[in-house]
Amino acid sequence: DAKTTQPPSMDCAEGRAANLPCNHSTISGNEYVYWYRQIHSQGPQYIIHGLKNNETNEMASLIITEDRKSSTLILPHATLRDTAVYYCIVRVPLRTGANNLFFGTGTRLTVIP
């Protein structure tokens, strides 16, 4: 029972915006959407998270639809170093303040020179 659905792969030209979609139709009302990425053979790197408003930080922007059933991660000017697997995550609570992360299979983004 997939908690999130992402396309398996995407290409993006260097310098262009990369838009990575995610469906999370079963998300509960107070659950945050998190995005991580994993560059080959390294640990996952936190990118951004949001609840219902759009969010932006130094790495990316996150657009969440009004019904919260889907979101899009935007890397505004993709570089070769952004080539990685990107995971959209909905968490399952373990106890107050701790959650289990379900990474799924993610989207393999390849930035092309």
Partner 1 sequence: DVKVTQSSRYLVKRTGEKVFLECVQDMDHENMFWYRQDPGLGLRLIYFSYDVKMKEKGDIPEGYSVSREKKERFSLILESASTNQTSMYLCASSSVAGTDYQETQYFGPGTRLLVL
Give me the residues that bind partner 1 (CB under 8 A), please: 32, 34, 36, 41-46, 49, 91, 94-105
Tokens 């919260």, located at residue: 68
What is the smallest separation between the CB atom of 1 and partner 1, expressed in angstroms? 13
Helix (H, G, I), strand (E, B) or coil at 90: strand
Place of tokens 């995550």: 89
Tokens of 39: 């560059």
Least distance CB 33 / partner 1 (angstroms): 11
Output the smallest distance, CB 103 to partner 1, in A: 4
**Minimum gap (Å) between residue 59 Cβ and partner 1:** 13
Nearer to partner 1, 28 or 100 (CB): 100
Identify which of residues 49 and 68 has a Cβ nearer to partner 1 in the complex: 49
Name which of 48 and 109 has its Cβ closer to partner 1.
Answer: 48
Phi and psi for 39 in degrees, rounded to 5? Answer: -85, 145
Q: Give the whole-angstrom CA distance, residue 74 versus residue 19.
A: 5
Give 40 or 113: the residue with its C-beta nearer to partner 1.
40
Task: Report the alpha-carbon distance of residue 87 to residue 25 in Å, rounded.
Answer: 16
The stretches of 1-113 forming alpha helices (DSSP H) are: none
